Amino acid sequence: MNMIELLTELAVMPLIAFTIGLFMVLMMRKIAAKIQRRVGPPLLQPLYDIVKLYAKKTQNSHGLVHDIGIIMAVGGYIAAETMLPVPGMNGIAAKSGLLALAYVIMIPSLGLALGVGQCANPNGSIGIARALTAMLAYDVPFVIIIFGASWFYGSNNLIDIVAHQQAGGIATWGAAKMPVLAIAALFSMYAMLGKQPFEIYVAPAEIATGPMVEMGGKYLGGLFVMQCFQLFTASAIYVTMFLGGGENWPFFLVKLFAIIAIPMSMAFVFPRYRTEDVLAVVWRWPVLLGLAGVWLVMH
Amino acid sequence: MSTLKNIPVVSHEKPSGGTGNLLANVFDELMAFCRSRSLFMLHYCTGCGAIELPPAMTSRFDMERLGIQPMVTPRQADILLVTGYVSTKTLKRIILTYEQMNSPKYVIGICSCTVNGGMYWQSYATAKKLNDYLPVDMYIAGCMPRPEAVIHGLRELMENIKKGESDNWRDYYRRYDHYLGNQQRLFGENWQTPTDIIGEARHYDLMGPETLGPHTALLEQHQTPLKPFEMTLGLADLPVRKDEPR
Amino acid sequence: MNHSVLALVPALPLLASFLLPLVPGAARRLVGPLTLLAVAFIGLNLWPLVQTEPMVLAVGDFAPPLGITFYADSVSALFVIAVALVTLVLWPWSGSDAGNLDRKQSLTLILAGACGGLAVSGDLFNVYVFYELAAVASFGLAAGARTAAAQIATFRYVVIGSLCSLLALLGITLIYVQTGTVNLAHLAQLAPLKLHNPLGLAAFFMILLGLGVKAELFLVNTWAPDVYATAEARVSGLLAGLVSKLALLAVVRLLVLIFPLPEARDALLLLGMLGILSGEFAAFRARDVKRMLAWSSIAQLGAAFVAFAIPGPAGLAAGLAVALHHLLVKPALFLLADRWGGSLAQITGAARNSPVSAGLFVLFILSMLGVPPLPGFWAKYLLLSGLAAQPEGLWWLAGAIILLTTVVEAVYLFRVIGALYGRDHTVTPKTQSATAVIGSGVFAAVLLAVAFSAPLLALPLNRMAVQMADSAAYIARVLPPVLPGVAP
Amino acid sequence: MTSLDLLLILSGLTTLAGFAFGNHRAYPWLAGIVLTAQIVILASMPLPMAAGFGFEMFGHPVGWQMDGFGRFFALITLGAALASVAYTGGEWGERYAAGGKNLRWLHGALAGNVLAMLLLLASGDLIAFFIGWELTSWAGFLLMAQGGERALRAAMRYVPYAMAGAMAVLGGLVLSLTWTGTLDLSQLVMLVPGLANWKLALLLALFGTGFAIKMGLLPVHLWQTPAYAEAPGAATAFLGAISSRMGLFGFGLLLVKLITLTRLADLSFIDGLFSARDLIEWVAALTIVLPTFTALKQNDARYLLAWHGIGQSGYMLLGLVIGDATGSAGGLLHVFNHATYQAALVLSVFAVMHRTGTADLNSMGGLVTRMPLTFLVMLLGIIGLAGLPPMNGFVSKWLIYRSLMIEGRPLLFLMTVLGTLGTILSVYKLIHNTFLGQLRAEHEQIREAPWSMLVPMLALVALAFVTGVAPGLALNYVNEAQAALGLPVMAHTLGGVESPRGSLDMLWIVGVLFAGFGIGALLFYGAGGRSKRIHQLDNYAGGHFLSADVRYQYSDHFYAGLMHRIGPLYRGSFTQMEAALASANDLLASLMQAWYRQAVPALTLLIATVLGLAWMIWR
């Protein structure tokens, strides 16, 4: 692979991720609307929102760190997208791997946390405290699953993992070989997406949307963009680990959207957990499932 | 001042299709379109009118299909919905909330109370006309207006935004002295919000003929400074001065 | 050098002590120091001579086993030097009035003479005599502080001391009854036949307890904390540093020459272990500096007993190292505790007005804890490696106890350091006296010299231990086989 | 004279100079130059390098020799000392001296620590090792005790621990002498693995206790936090960066070199189910998790960091004990990495203390506008401590994770990650409560820390960043240490590890990350409308008007929801255990005192005599 090709991939991969993410947001809102027997937003609504937010005339910054936080939140995901192999493009997946990716996607969260902290709003700080607590909750099963998958495939390299699954068709997919882990992973990804009942850190009625309390204009817009990336990343990691990655774009898209659709179909009928209950639930079921799955994989 | 048309609206948008860069015009149109199709609203539920909003949002009327959805804090919101009578005490909060919103921002007064005080006309503690204190873009009269009326009003606003007609937020900057005067009359001359409207007007070049005036002068006398904490290195102490008290 | 100088070691100080009151004027104050210098000179001259060949003096030319025998090997010579020099450093230069001072100086000289005698005695009866002499002198010195507390403490000391002297005498009597001799060499010859039985062991045990009083042996050491806490610092230093070592030496001579039996060793080991445990733990709760030092000294002597219990030259080397180290450290600490005695709170911040003394104090403490490269470490190393070389069981338990109690020791000793360097401005601690600083400075200089020349000193120490352990040579030297043409 | 001699002599001279004229203004410069020279000498020294001096004691030669393992630690030691000394060079030192404290003692103790550590790291036999060990302990005590009343109390608490550790090591030394007849490390290496299992287990217990105490492994870690936190700033940085790693050095010698890891795995407790190696791995893993979550609860920045220092040492030991090329490289690399960012973090906390006078996380906030460079240092530092890219902490932790994955240790892996997550939570609290949020009215006039303090801090984080982007720079020395220990050597590239089973190339990752940030910045500044800085009181408060006298800051009980769940687990069991030991000790002590206070000693004497005689006679 020559350098120019690589650079093109690095530029294109985030763009694709963003586009897919936009539609995932739309799908999410549509699912919510359908469950609530509403029409729901029009096709380009996520785009309208983002454009409008960026186009705000006056915007409030609480200081440089506030700005940098948003830049890190968006930029970190842009970087992360280049480490996720998609059909036809591998980016720098060979140079990072599953483990590094899991830590790289903490960078945007940390950036966001910094930005929110600078806002000097206790609601935001509480939101971040809760978000970090939620991260502590869902990352525990998540790393167990990463361990299991990495042990099963004998590699940490996402390209290898994808190749391994694609070699034998559906029968060799992670989900077929490691069903317990796949279920645990779905659970943990659900918690990661932070929708009901796990939306402890947004909690609009309680802490006024937590981290987003002081975010307006392009700051909020940045977070919307980040959400698009986040949905794509979570889904793509899952697909890569358990659903054979992307053989070609149509199948890949189906898998990506399906994976997001499953938890979202459940989300909007739930109320919200309390923080400690998120810990209790996530540390119990997906962790137990994950450990059982790892045990099965290793024996 | 009994009709909407009499609310002073000063448009400074260039008429569409006029001079200037075509591409820029298209861009502006696009922005206006997006603004009109994506409205986050903050409902400041001061009175009984708030009860009409849930039906407007939920499955019967579903605002979201118009791109309108509720938001929680002023920073995120585009529309400030004031849904009922406004007492003096509440008005302070409404003004604070309005000033904390990011422009372009729109104020909608719902119910008769926001128009003229409604049934509280004789109350000593109720602000009668909201547009004395804030630039109201749209009144939805009624006691209370039905959800259809609310939706209708919102659609009107969307049209106005798309056409570039609804930009009363500029008026607040351009005639800040006027609004501030009315506010001071009600709250006393010590009145101050933490938002630096004049500074914003300067920063975004939104100054108008009446931005500054006697009332802003009065404000400056009583104002506690609101200069943001700029990041400072403060490394003037190189080399360390011996005489300096530490 | 004439063998008869050996007799001068005890005789000179004793004589001087009786003559002291007769010497007129200012010269009277010089009698003691000059005598001690003379003894030191004798000891220093003795040292090279006895390295290869121990020196024997049969007083009045009565051939051993008859008559009084003085015997000096390198250990004796070393202790003679130590007695003279340590007494000199702890010499009572001043007193409240002239009569008191005379008394103190006389008693100190008697103590020095008795100690010298213990170092060179070659028979059991002389050991007892010198031991009693030392006891009487120390009673007098201990009560010399003339406070009610000191007198009460001394009274307890006298009671226990006298009872134990009786025990020792009983033990010696038993031995004499069994063997008909008190000469150590002769006893050593006869012991396998006549004394290595329950009766002999009982005698040994009685003598052990009897002499153990001065050596602060567990069971008979209850007097020590009170006496050390109430007596003058120099007296405490003499008793803890010097007298205890000489008593210990006497016991060890018995152990090596007459009772090299596992039972005897076990008794030493057990009592030593109990001494370490009781001393260190009791010191842990002590709030009075001098009492703390007293308990610590009990523990140190316990360690010395444990060391001497180890069979063979390794044990003697370890014991000598521990004992000599304690001899260097404890008198100096007591000297410094003269002004800094009493409650710890009173010395808070003392390092501010007496930095040198505080530094010396820390130095001694570190050495006592066995912080390398100070000599205390090498002593501890010898002791522990000696213990570890023995089969497991009590020996290893003793090693474990030493390791564990060092932790306790560190805590209470660092408490003193913490107080010295503390920052409480409400108390104004006393400044150190010049004599204490100079005295402890001398000890510190020796300590540091030893620390820097430790590799060089390892060899002589070993040689001493080997010489001391060689009971056959002792017998041969004192009771030479009658060869044709050589007068015994 | 060999270059090791020169190194030690220079170090000794620095110590003397520190005690003699450490309060002179020129001393930090001089010491800095000499330390730099020492680093150069050390780095350019051919290995192994024996010292020209030495002596023989009781038939055992005592000598010093530096190998790759020692040099790795020695370089970190000298570097940490350099940063600490530089930090004292300006205003900090002046203020310290003005506060009535003595700079000479501080500098002397600091240089003394370095000397003691160099002696320890270059020891060629167990006696030299023990000399170094004790000197390190007591030099450390001296340094800890410099910080005033509370520091003295903390240092006093350290005494029994240090002594217990030293005595355990001494016991181990004596036993290995007894069993092998030698104290020379090069001979012990051959003889020790041949010892019987119970002997090895005893050696492991004795030496292990000593090293564990120094390192602050569970359950003997309690002394470390207050002792490190209360010391003066420069001292805290030095202690936190390297001091307790001497325990790890000991473990490296003991576990890897003397006992060897294979022998360690043979020492099984329950029929091969649980070996000594497992035990150590689990102790290390618990040391990662428990102190980290204790740190989470701290409200004093210094204590928070000190607790993390304990937690992070678990990673190092775990990596070392896993013992494969990747894991041990990770463990060793973490020593260096931790030193860089921990020193920087501690220094930044003390820089904040220098200006605000407090390290209480509930009485600060919003300082980023006043001390932006200090903020930058702390930001990079916490990213390193939390083990996130692009800082070096990520690389070493990645290596450890990776080796646990390869070795198939899911539970240990989980513990390491749990530690990392806990760290992220607690360091966010640190930076949030210090630098973010509402600036207090009393801190509005505060200025940035002086350059004399900033330069070492910035240099440290720069080092942490550079070795994060190009870990190969540090891995060269790690490889040397691995080779000296007899561990498999990990092949590496400049950017990390190249492996068919999953590579790590930090050059690319960081490159892409910063490219991402660049695009993010373009989007932010290019695509959106202009933003305006606003005052912190212009803030959403549900319609409330904020004023400067109202604290609008969330700092106390920061992770309330988490604590609701895990709070009951903080029972203070270790503290209770320590207290129980102390009171048992007290009880024993009072019993012993009672013995000496007996009223009728004659009676006791009689009984004892009778018993003793009976024993002698009937034995």
pLDDT at C17 over 80: yes
Q: Write out chain B residues lying below 8 Å of A212, CB-based.
A: 73, 76
Same domain assignment for residues D516 and D594: no
The region of weakest confidence among B42-56, C283-297, D504-518 is B42-56
Pairwise CB contact (< 8 Å): D502 & A280: no
Neighbours of A284 (CB within 10 A): 11
C355-369 vs C312-340: helix axis angle to the nearest 10?
A: 150
Closest to D319 measured CA to CA, from D272, D285, D296: D285
pLDDT at C487 over 50: no
In this structure, is residue B111 part of a structural domain?
A: yes
Same domain assignment for residues D325 and D431: yes
Using the 8-state DSSP alphabet, how is residue B224 labeled?
Answer: P
Same domain assignment for residues B125 and B44: yes
- Name the residue with higher pLDDT: C4 or D211: D211
Q: What per-residue confidence (pLDDT) applies to D269? A: 76
Same domain assignment for residues B81 and B160: yes
Pairwise CB contact (< 8 Å): A204 & B34: no
Same domain assignment for residues B65 and B161: yes
If phi > 0 it is left, if psi is from -120 to 50 it is alpha, else beta; for residue D496 that is: left
pLDDT digits (tens, 9 = 90+) for C94-113: 766 777 888 888 899 999 99
Same domain assignment for residues B213 and B95: no
Interface of A with D in 256-295 (CB under 8 A): 274-276, 278-280, 291, 294
Give the chains touching D; criterion: ≥3 Cβ pairs < 8 Å: A, B, C
Provide the 3-class DSSP secondary structure of residue A42: coil
pLDDT at D181 over 50: yes
Same domain assignment for residues D583 and D513: no
In this structure, is residue D96 part of a structural domain?
A: no
In this structure, is residue D409 part of a structural domain?
A: yes
Closest to C104 measured CA to CA, from C87, C119, C117, C85: C87
Count of domains forming chain B: 2
Residue D182: closest CA among chain C residues belongs to which residue? C385
Pairwise CB contact (< 8 Å): B228 & D534: yes
Mean pLDDT across chain D: 89
Judge whether C225 is closer than 8 Å to chain D, CB to CB: yes
Same domain assignment for residues B67 and B186: no
In this structure, is residue B240 part of a structural domain?
A: no
Q: What per-residue confidence (pLDDT) applies to B2? A: 52
| C-alpha to C-alpha distance for D617 and A93, rounded to whole angstroms | 85
| C-alpha to C-alpha distance for D86 and D100, rounded to whole angstroms | 21
Could you give the angle at the alpha carbon of D541 between the alpha carbons of D535 and D543, nearest 5°?
105
Closest to D60 measured CA to CA, from D184, D245, D202: D184
Identify the residue among B62, B102, B172 best suited for mutation to test binding to A, counting A beta carbons within 10 A and taking the highest. B102
> Can you tell me the ipTM of this complex?
0.87
- With touching defined as 3 or more inter-chain CB pairs under 8 Å, the answer for chains D and B is yes
Q: What per-residue confidence (pLDDT) applies to A198? A: 87
pLDDT digits (tens, 9 = 90+) for D93-106: 888 888 888 888 88
Q: What per-residue confidence (pLDDT) applies to A208? A: 83
pLDDT digits (tens, 9 = 90+) for A74-105: 999 999 998 888 888 888 888 888 888 888 88
Same domain assignment for residues B186 and B162: no
pLDDT digits (tens, 9 = 90+) for C200-226: 888 998 999 889 888 888 888 888 888
**Domain ranges, residue B64:** 38-166
Same domain assignment for residues B155 and B215: no
Q: What per-residue confidence (pLDDT) applies to D462? A: 94
- Which single residue is written with the structure tokens 């930076």? D431
pLDDT at C66 over 80: no
Interface of C with D in 310-369 (CB under 8 A): 366, 369
pLDDT at D378 over 90: yes
Span C140-149, average pLDDT: 85
Span A150-177, average pLDDT: 85
Give the pairing type, strands C69-72 and D532-533. unpaired
Pairwise CB contact (< 8 Å): A74 & D366: no
State which H helix or E strand residue D267 sits in: none
Judge whether D597 is closer than 8 Å to chain B, CB to CB: no
Q: What per-residue confidence (pLDDT) applies to D340? A: 93
Q: How far is CA C277 from CA A74, C397, D150, D470, in A?
A: 67, 12, 31, 57
Q: Contact, A140 vs A282, CB < 8 A?
A: yes
Mean pLDDT across chain C: 87
pLDDT at C1 over 70: no
Which CATH number does the domain housing residue B107 bear? 3.40.50.12280
Judge whether A144 is closer than 8 Å to chain D, CB to CB: yes
Count of domains forming chain D: 2
In this structure, is residue B143 part of a structural domain?
A: yes
pLDDT digits (tens, 9 = 90+) for C224-281: 888 888 888 888 888 888 899 999 999 999 899 888 888 889 889 999 999 999 999 9
Which pLDDT band holds residue D536 (cuts at 50, 70, 90)? confident
Same domain assignment for residues D479 and D603: no
**Domain ranges, residue D315:** 278-523
- DSSP 3-state percent helix, strand, coil across chain B (nearest 5): 45, 10, 45
Pairwise CB contact (< 8 Å): D602 & C205: no
pLDDT digits (tens, 9 = 90+) for D6-64: 999 999 999 999 988 888 888 889 999 999 999 999 988 888 888 888 888 888 888 89
Q: Write out chain D residues lying below 8 Å of C369, CB-based.
A: 163
In this structure, is residue D156 part of a structural domain?
A: no
Q: How far is CA D403 from CA A154, A227, D380, D397, in A?
A: 12, 33, 26, 10
Same domain assignment for residues B159 and B185: no
| C-alpha to C-alpha distance for D440 and D365, rounded to whole angstroms | 7
Pairwise CB contact (< 8 Å): D589 & C156: no
Q: What per-residue confidence (pLDDT) applies to D336? A: 93
Pairwise CB contact (< 8 Å): D562 & A133: yes
Span A30-55, average pLDDT: 90
Q: Burial code of C211-228, b = ≥16 C-beta within 10 A, e = fewer?
A: bbbbbbbbbbbbbbbbbb
Span D549-563, average pLDDT: 86
| C-alpha to C-alpha distance for D81 and C457, rounded to whole angstroms | 37
Same domain assignment for residues D510 and D378: yes
Same domain assignment for residues D492 and D587: no
Judge whether A12 is closer than 8 Å to chain D, CB to CB: no
Same domain assignment for residues B148 and B184: no
Q: Contact, D204 vs D256, CB < 8 A?
A: no
Distance of residue D180 Cα from the nearest chain C Cα, in angstroms: 11
Same domain assignment for residues D515 and D601: no
In this structure, is residue B20 part of a structural domain?
A: no
Same domain assignment for residues B112 and B185: no
Same domain assignment for residues D478 and D611: no
Same domain assignment for residues B144 and B48: yes
In this structure, is residue B242 part of a structural domain?
A: no
The region of weakest confidence among A222-231, B8-17, B52-61, D474-483 is B8-17
In this structure, is residue B13 part of a structural domain?
A: no
Same domain assignment for residues D476 and D398: yes
In this structure, is residue B180 part of a structural domain?
A: yes
Count residue pairs from C and D with Cβ separation < 8 A. 160
Pairwise CB contact (< 8 Å): A36 & B59: yes
Residue ranges in chain B whose pLDDT is less than 70:
1-20, 233-246
Q: What per-residue confidence (pLDDT) applies to A1? A: 58
Distance of residue B104 Cα from the nearest chain A Cα, in angstroms: 6
Closest to C384 measured CA to CA, from C399, C371, C370, C372: C399
Pairwise CB contact (< 8 Å): B194 & D545: yes
Judge whether C407 is closer than 8 Å to chain D, CB to CB: yes
In this structure, is residue D421 part of a structural domain?
A: yes
Percentage of residues of chain D with pLDDT beyond 70: 100
Q: What per-residue confidence (pLDDT) applies to B8? A: 61
Same domain assignment for residues B154 and B42: yes
Q: How far is CA C215 from CA A138, C129, C263, D438, D592, in A?
A: 69, 16, 20, 70, 19
Q: What per-residue confidence (pLDDT) applies to B59? A: 86
Same domain assignment for residues D518 and D578: no
Domain boundary at D495, D523, D551, which?
D523
Q: What per-residue confidence (pLDDT) applies to C488? A: 40
Pairwise CB contact (< 8 Å): C381 & D174: yes
- Name the residue with higher pLDDT: D502 or A230: A230
In this structure, is residue B19 part of a structural domain?
A: no
Q: How far is CA A243 from CA A19, A253, B237, D325, in A?
A: 21, 12, 61, 33
Cis check for the bond before B145: say yes or no (omega within 30 of 0).
no
The region of weakest confidence among C33-37, C282-286, C454-458 is C454-458
Q: What per-residue confidence (pLDDT) applies to C405? A: 92
